[in-house]
């Protein structure tokens, strides 16, 4: 298995708004917010990811830290999706 350091000099992956919103929709359907928090915590510290919209990094921080930013809810995820569709 090939491993990539989170300290890569250039982005190894670009996360699009479409991919991000599709992922959030799947979590809304399953209502598995604990798993969403875990995944966001894996993504948040990585410097080798590039986001189509800079605000997506802030959204990842929000999702990774519900104890700071407030409880994750279906409604909040729908708000994020709506914002990204604008």
pTM (predicted TM-score): 0.81
The structure tokens listed for 72 are 């994750």
**Cα distances (angstroms) measured from residue 21 to each of 3, 58, 64:** 26, 14, 16
pLDDT tens by residue, 51-61: 999 999 999 99
Q: Average pLDDT, stretch 29-54? A: 90
Domain boundaries, the chain: 13-85
Minimal CA–CA distance to 70: which of 62, 79, 59, 58?
62
Summarize pLDDT for 12-36 with one digit per residue, the tens.
788 999 999 999 999 999 888 899 9
């Amino acid at each position: 298995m090939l491993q990539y350091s989170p300290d890569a000099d250039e982005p190894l992956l670009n996360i699009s708004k479409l991919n991000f919103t599709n992922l959030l929709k799947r979590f809304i359907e399953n209502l598995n917010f604990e798993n969403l928090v875990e995944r966001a915590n894996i993504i948040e510290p990585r410097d080798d990811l590039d986001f189509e919209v800079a605000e997506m990094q802030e959204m990842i921080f929000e999702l990774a830290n519900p104890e700071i930013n407030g409880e994750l809810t279906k409604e909040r995820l729908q708000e994020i999706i709506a914002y990204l569709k604008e």
